[in-house]
Every structure is written in structure tokens, then in C-alpha cells.
Chains A and B, each alone.
Chain A
Amino acid sequence: MLPEEIITQLNAEFQCRDQQIRHLTALYSAHPPSPPSLNLYGLTATGKSSILRSYFHLARIPHAVINVRECITARHLLERIVAASLDAVEEADDGGKIDRRPYARTENLSALCVNMAKLLEGREKFVLVLDAVDKLREGGGTLIAALGRLGETIPSLALILTTTLPLAPSVLHSSSTAFLHFPPYTRSELLTILGAQPLKIFSTPPSLDQFPDYTPDLAAEDDAWLWSRFLQAVYDSLSKHTGRDLISFRTCATRLWRPFVEPVVAGQFGTRDFSRLMVNRRHLFQVEDWVLHRIINTAGPDDDMTTAAAKKKAPNVHVHALPYYTTHILIAAYLASYNPSRTDVTYFMKHTDKRKNKRRAPSAASFSVTGKRTGAKHRKISRHLLTPSPFTLDRLLAIFRALLEGTVPQVADLYTQIATLSSMRLLVRAGIGSNDVLEAGTRWRVGFGWEFARALGRSVNLEVGEYLVGGVD
């Protein structure tokens, strides 16, 4: 394919990337030599991977694309480079078999150099794309630097490294690297790109018998019209502030689309009643639920304000209750993490009157006193906002017993529960210890926050705040 044809085709597929595509075509065409290494950078979803793949596919230059995200270790990356290059070279030779035996192992960088040099000897040009090199899980900077110089040692190899941010010269150790930037899309670019593929208003087209003049063409026109206006509204009200990249914007728009056009599908509004539709569906653009990344897409298509409000209260309905003593263990753990141990005597000493232990609600006076002493500038951070401090198992058990009215037999179940809680990560072992979770001297920490602790307390009629030093307000 001629370079001009490629450009036209790519431009049709990827709008608003004309300049970058032209750069690519100029740098990597069949004949003139290409830069030994190129760093192609840009934020996520700026089309780096897709455009590279499409371009090299169309340009018919022998190439291999490695998705570095899929490589677990550095060794894995090296093995994959060789395997992918072998495949690519074979394909370029129109299925001519290469003797693969010499390439069985690529344990380290020098093996890679040897193997690649052997493979590419006497060949014209070979492009190796390492996509998302900055996502490499091990190996770090030196490996990238070494890979970057691969292009210098093997003349026919042209290397492309894609990253989110440009590679710093200190990482590359080389001045011959070229750079190509894929800038993030602007508002109008985003609208153009997404506007090119409108979603349908009617997931099942209205029957032709009933509406004989609503032809598919007409429908497509309506879809495009409403979709582009809808995209603008979504961008201006939601995506502008949160997810500006193409994927977030696309996800958000797709999620909102169905509920948005629901009145149109129901026949309440016409397909071009955009302003009335906007007023009717304005609540969709007022809550942030749609842009939050959630696994569970809580809002269904038939959602309106009332159910959304009801949902606010709903989530806790299905919380599985923990056993009685387990709940107390967790509360004790929370208190042990957030109360300094020297206050234990005041809070948990057994009195005949249990009430004496509890904290009285902090009065305004007590605050002003501390304020004066420590100076007004020194703002106290509420304890529960700090990270939990570690405690020993015996302290936990002592507080646990102090919280309960009666006595609890020292059964092994208590320890089983502690082990269970630690595998649920509600209790976390602090520091590295031996593998024995119940070893004496092991220190623990809680793995949950104040809200959860309070809810736990309420489930067993215990106001955790009353036992917490400093209180929570």
C-alpha cells in the first residue's frame, strides 16, 4: 500500500491523529533508514497502541509488537521478544521456515543480543515495538536502557518504546533516541471521535408495519443527531471534571445512554426533543455515580431519583453478621489500635459500675483548654484519621474481656476466629514475623476504619466512641 493510502485509511479509522500518523509514515517506510530507537509517549487512551498496530499492519513492514503488560518477569519479556520476532520474520518470508533450534533460550540480555543479531542478519528492516515499557514489572531502568540500545547494536532493527511519559535521558543513556508525542485529546476531538460511532436509540428498531416511514436511514440520522448532543452534555457536566480520557468518557457515555433515551423509547418524547429530554433527565447529570469506577453498575436503566435515594440506604441490608464474640474481638482490636496503651487502665479497668469507664462527651471547655496549651496553630488531628498503631495479642484479649459483661471461657475458638479475621484482612499482622499467626509477641493492626467499627459496635449495642480516647466528632 502506498504511504498516502495508508494515511487516508488510518485517518478514517482514527480521527484527529493526522499529524502523528504522518510522522509515523515518514519515519517508518520501507526504504529510507528508520531511527534505531523511538520513544512514543502519551497519556492513556491516546491511540498509541492501536495506531501503531494498524500502521505496521498496513505498511507491511516486518514487525513484532510486544505488550509488556503481559510479561511477568524480565526473562519473560526477553523470551517473548525472540519468539515474536521469529514469528514475524517467518511471516515476512511468506511462511519460509526458520530453524528455531538455536533460539531455544534467551536467559539474559546478551543472549537476546546474540539471538536478535543472528535472526536479523542480512535482513532489510525489522521493527520491534515494546508497548507500555514503563509497565515492566521487574528489571527497572537498566533493562529499559539496555533494550533502548539494542537498535544501535543491530543495524537492521528499529525499536519503538511506548510509554506514558517521555523516557528521561538518565534512563535511556543515549542521545540518539527520537521522540514522538501523542497529545491527549481536546474536548472537540473527543466529541468528534466518539460522535463517529453513535449508539442506537432503539435497541430493537420499531416495527416497520407500525411506522412504515421510519426507515433505518432515518433512524441512523436521528441516532447521530441525539448522540452528538448527548455527548456534549455528558462531557460538560461530568467527564470534564473527572474522566477526560477517551475510555473513561466512552464508558460514562455508554452507561448513561440507555437511561437517557428511555423516555424516547417509551414514546414520551420525540427523537429530536433534546431540550425537553434534557430537562426530564437532568438528574442523570447531577450525580457522580456514573463516573465512579464501580464493579457493580448499581444504576439500572429504569432508575430515577427516588430509587437512587433509596439505594443510599440500601447497601447495608445484606451485610453478613459476624458472630457475637468475633464482633467484640474486632471492636477490641480497633480500640487497641487507636487508644494509647497507657489509657487502658482508665478505660477498661473493671469497676463495679461499668459506666465510669466510658468517656463523657467532650465539652467545649475541654477543647479550649487543650487549644490554649498547645497553641492555636497546632491543630489536633482526630485519632481515628491516623493510621492504626500495632498492638499485641494479649492486649487485644484483655480489652476484649473488659468489654464483655460476663466471663468468656478461654476456648480455642477465640484463636480460630483471630486467624479467620486475619485471613479476611480485618486484622493485619504488623511487620514481618514468622508464619505462625498466633505466636506470642506478634503485633497486630486493624484493617478497617471508624465507620465499620462503629457499625460493628451498634450491632451488639456498644457505642465504640465512648471507649475511644479523644473521641470522634
Chain B
Amino acid sequence: MEHQRCYIYQPPETEERANKRQRTSKFDPQSRLPERLQIYRSVWAQQEERIQNTLEGADSATQENIVNFISAASSSPDEQKFAIPTALIVAGPSIASHGHFFERLGRRVRDANSAYIVLTSGECPNLKTLLKNLIKKVTSRVEDDDEDEIDRPSTSSRHGPKLLNYDLGHVEEWQKKHRAASIVVALQDSEAFDAGLLVDTIDLFHSWLDRLPFVLLFGLATSAENFEERLAGNSLRFLEGQKFDVIQSDEIIEKLLHATVASTDVRLHIGSNLCRRMLDRQKDHVQSTQDFCDGLKYAYMSHFYASVPSLLLKEGITFSDVTADIFEAVRNLPSFRRWVEDTLDDGRAQDVRNLLEDNEYLFDQVSQHIQSGQQALLSLSHAASVLASIRQAIQMSPTVRLSSIWIRAASGELSGSPLIRETMLSIKKIPSDKLVHLLASLRELEGNYFSIDLASSQQRLDSLLKNTDTPLRTQHDVRNDSLRTTVVAQKVLLSKHKAALSEQDRAYSDIVTEFHDRLETYFASSLVDPRTLFLSEILMYDLKSPHTEVFQPKPRFAIERALASPHDYLGCDCCSGVDGNPAALSATQPATAIVYQMYLESGTLINVSDLWSAFNAIAGDGSDENEPKTMALFQRALAELKYLGLVKPSRKKTDHISKTMWKGL
């Protein structure tokens, strides 16, 4: 190898450098932890604020409508109502975020002088409990926890009869005092309520409607039609209202991603793999904005908690902040190695020597590269937004979401990709009316990371457009047949005009070509592969490992694997199989594992006595005096399988158990 010299300094050869590094005894993973936590907190606080703002902004329109509906319903309190004003809020299948939605809604509703309470199916198993909760929440009454007392009117017989604690009379008294404009009762997960309970509740509320100004909000996960079907016709006639659609969770996720991951003002970037993983999970399994935010937060935490060099992300860091082991860690980064090799290729051996020996020199370099790396990553994110907004402005199909553009950009796939080429091609052919539109939308994105001269293009275009009222077309566009066919009927007219127009068309083509070229250079320069950047490990978090285990654990798989091949977990020599066959059963394996593996091979009904003989043949030693011991092991194993829900006693055949779970499901 031509850079043999490098090996003088003993750079580690194998890929498993992480292990080696951990084994050095003086390495302290806790080093500078408080400072790192400090950075984490400040970075995350910023993101969290953005998340809150996005979430609040996303459904503010819907909430506004609901609040208006409520105040309209309570605007004429004296008029007799025949039905309870009802809002069906279709909040979508992401039940986890419904709570937050209703909480935010509550803040607004209470502002409008209404009582607002949320009930969930969990706290309302029956009508009595529902009413108790309702009363407690409306009147903010503190209830004595004495169970015996709950159904009784308060003990003191000094006052005569008292209302029972599930009597809506309490609310009536409260209402007399507080005169709320309406009493808004939100059933957060209406589908989960027992249908009979809903019917009873509606019936009851309706009968109180002349004294209590109820407004009902039903939070729905499926659809309004579905819900109406579940209620009996009689309850439906007690309700009247509107449906409100909450913004779909995939759209919110898109917005969240835009505001956090793809934002142009973040200090720690999320890598494309992790981001793709989080989005895929949303698409495939759960739909929950909360989950997405948790994932993001966990990524940030993991980075700062676990990686010592993340300290370098501290704002205004000085040399004295950085300890020697951080420099050591930096020198062990793969991207450092790549960078060193590149520097050597440039023939700057002295620089490399300095990097390896001189901490102060390294610190300068690192600070510079943190800066420039941030810059590069941010312009990358911005370029993704620019591309997305170009495609949106000229209405290109298929619509590609920002998230997918961003992920492709962050994984370095975008530059020169068909997506870019296709987009650039349609810019070449853009007619002037669309260009006006495009320029307008791009000007919103102008800034540090996107500084091509839009203004001059705009000016020239404006002056050109002053003299025409038909859209101008570029030279590339003229060759487009489909556009020509529409004017075939006026062929004569057109050919007459052609000479006169061509002058302008040519001028327009120049503008477009210039604009196109500028954009092309812009994309070429900003669409870098972030993983090739020096210090990308510090600037970006893209590790699969703790994330998957934490967010997508595989409990069933783990248990099945532990039972089917205990060696994978035990790692001992004795259980690794017989005669080189790792699948063979051996007496040294745990009894439960042995029984389980026999269980896997049998049918739905298992004869316990056969199972016992098989077990005894493997685990027993054939001597009569040890048989009770083996039997005990066997019975314990069977009990454990039963406990795990793998078998249950069968009623079909005596002495048989039936199999209830299959491996791999």
C-alpha cells in the first residue's frame, strides 16, 4: 500500500474497533456527561418547541371550527332544544394522539366560558361510574375515598336527604352558580365505550337538556358512518350536529419532519436510515405523532448520552473544554481515517502528523469542520425543500413527499438521480406562466442556504412579460407535439405569428436556460453524501441498534428463540449441540427448552405420556432412582410452557394437552 507510513501509528486494522476501544481500561464512558446532557437539553428544547408549534398549528383550524360549533350551539340558551348538539370528531386511527388533541381543544373551549370534561372508556365501565366521574370533573369536587360511603348520601343526617353522588343534580347546582354557556362532554374514544352505555348516557343527557346545556363531542377512530351504525335509531334522534375531520396523522408527521429533522436550524442531524425506519414504522404499524416524537427524542438522547465526542457540538467550545480522550475518540472515527487518507493523497503528510500528534491543531481542524459540516448538512436539507417546492409549484406528478425527497438526499442518492433529472427537464420546458409561479414560491426559500440570483431572472421575466399576454414557451417546449395539437385548427394564424413571437420566445428561453443552469449548479453543490463528511459521526446520528430494540422489540421471537436454541442466549459449551449438530437435543439444555423442542415437532394434540417418555430418554439417565428427579424437571417444564400460554389442557382427549401457539407467528 502506498500509504504504508500510516501504520507506524498503528491505526486499528479490523472493523471491530468499537470493541477494542471499549476494552481499554481507562476509557470512561461517563466522561463529561453533565456537559453533554446540557447540550442535549438545549438542542432538544429547541426541537420540542417546534414540535409543539407544529402540532398546535396543524389542528388549529379544526379546533377553531369545533369551538365555533360549540359557541353557536350555546348562543341561544333560552330556546328549547330538541336534540343534544353533537360534534363527531373523526380523529383517525392514531389513538395515542387523541388525548393530546382533546387536551388542546379543552384549553380553547374553557376560554369560551364553557365547562369541558373528557371521559375515556377506561374510566367509564358503566353508567354510574361515568356519572360519578362526570360530576367530579365538572364540579371539581373532591371525593372522599371511602368506598363504603360512595353510594350513600353524605352521612350527616343533620341536613336531610342529600343527592346521591351519581345524581346529575350536583351538576345542576353547580350550573346554577356558575352559569356556564355550555357543558361540553368529550368522549375521547367513543368506539371503545359499550354501545349500551352510550345509548343510556345519551338518553339521560337528553332528558336533562332542559336544565343542563350539554354539548357532546365524540372522538372517533374509524368513521362517523361506522359510529352512527352502532347507535340505535332512538339515540340518534336525540343528537344533532356536525362532523369534524382532524388532519390525518401522516400529514402531521410530514409537517413534523419538515419542522424538526429537515429543518435548516438544527445542531444534531438525524441520519437517513433512522429516519426511514421511523417513517416506515408509521406507515406499516402504528400511526402516532407521539411515537414519532418519542423516537426523535430517543435518538437525540442516545447520541449525547453514549457518544463522548458529541461534546464537540457544544456552542462556543474552547480547547480547554476538550479532554484528551475526546481527541483520542475523534482519531478513531472512520471518517477521520478517511479524511487522513485523503489528506495523504494530497501529499500533506506533515498535516497528518500534526493531526495525530498535536491536540491543539486537531482541535482547530475539528472546530472548522464542525462548522463546515453543519453548513453542508443544512444546505442539503434546504436543497431537499427547494426540490420539493419546485415540484409542487410546477405540479409535477407523481407527487413526491418532502419526507421521501429528504431521505433520499440524506442518504446521498439524490444527486444525479432520475428524480432530479426529470425535474430539471421540466424546468427546461417550463412555460412563462408557470415560471412566474415557480419564482414566487422559490423566493420564499431564498436565504443563506439558497442564494441563487432569483431577482434578476424575475426582473428580466417581468419586463419581457409586459409586452405579451400569451404565455411564452422555451425552445425546448416548442418541439413538444402535444402542445401543438391544440392549436392545429388555427394553423394559418399561428405560422403568421410565429416569426413575431420567436424573438420573445428566444429571450424567454435565455432566461429559462440561465435559471436552469444556476439551479443545476446549486443542486450539484449542495446535494452531497453526508456520510462522506469528516466528523459525520458527530454531526449526525444514524444508528439502528438501540433504536430498534427499544421501539420495536420482539418479545415473542425472543422467547421462541431462547426455547428453541438456548445456546444462542446461554453461550455455554455444553449446549452447543451433539456431534457437531447444533439442532440436536442434549440433556444439558434446560428442561423447558427440551420439552419445547419436542413440542415443536408434535401435532395439535400432544399425548403427555409420550412426551414424558421422550423427555426421559434424553434428560434421564435410565436409572430408576433418578426418575422422580427427572419427572420433577419434566413437570416443571410443562408448567412453564403452560404459564407461557403455549399449551392448555385439552378436553377432547384424556391425557392430552393441546398446542396453542406456533413458532414464528
Contacts and interface: CB of A to CB of B under 8 A. Distances in A.
Nearest to A417: B285
Interface stretch (B355-363, B367-375, B553-561): B553-561
A424 B192 contact: yes
Contacts of A294: 228, 236
Q: Which 6 A-B pairs have the closest CB atoms?
A: A100-B160, A440-B645, A413-B285, A320-B92, A293-B236, A104-B157
B497 interface: no
Contact of B164 (A75, A250, A410, A423): A75
Contacts of A99: 160
Interface in B207-237: 207-208, 221-226, 228, 230, 233-234, 236-237
Interface of A: 67, 69-70, 72-73, 75-76, 79-80, 82-83, 86, 99-101, 103-106, 137, 247-248, 250-251, 293-297, 315, 318-326, 392, 394, 397-398, 401, 409-417, 420, 423-426, 439-441, 448, 452
Interface residues of B, number: 75
B556 A318 contact: no
A247 B660 contact: no
Nearest to A400: B665
Contact of A296 (B88, B191, B208, B662): B88
A459 to B, nearest CB: 13
A325 B284 contact: yes
Contacts of B189: 423-424
Contact of B191 (A70, A72, A423): A423
A416 B93 CA distance: 13
B158 interface: yes
Contacts of A76: 164, 166-167
A152 B82 CA distance: 38
Given A72-B166, A320-B93, A397-B665, A104 B242 contact: no
B180 interface: no
Contacts of A325: 284-285
A320 B90 contact: yes
Interface in B611-665: 645-646, 648, 660-662, 664-665
A412 B553 contact: yes
Given A293-B233, A296-B242, A420-B93, 7 more contacts: A73-B164, A73-B166, A75-B151, A104-B160, A296-B88, A424-B189, A426-B222
Contacts of B249: 320
Contacts of A69: 203-204, 207
Contacts of A417: 285-286
Interface of B: 82, 86, 88, 90, 92-93, 95, 121, 127-128, 131, 151-153, 157-164, 166-168, 189, 191-192, 200, 203-204, 207-208, 221-226, 228, 230, 233-234, 236-237, 239-243, 245, 248-250, 281-287, 552-557, 645-646, 648, 660-662, 664-665
12 contacts: A69-B207, A83-B161, A104-B153, A105-B161, A295-B243, A296-B224, A318-B90, A323-B284, A323-B286, A324-B283, A325-B285, A410-B556
A72 B126 CA distance: 11
A409 B225 CA distance: 34
B662 A398 contact: yes
A326 B93 contact: yes
Nearest to A317: B245
B341 to A, nearest CB: 37
A412 B555 contact: yes
A319 B227 CA distance: 13
Contacts of B283: 323-324
Contacts of B243: 295-296
B158 A101 contact: yes
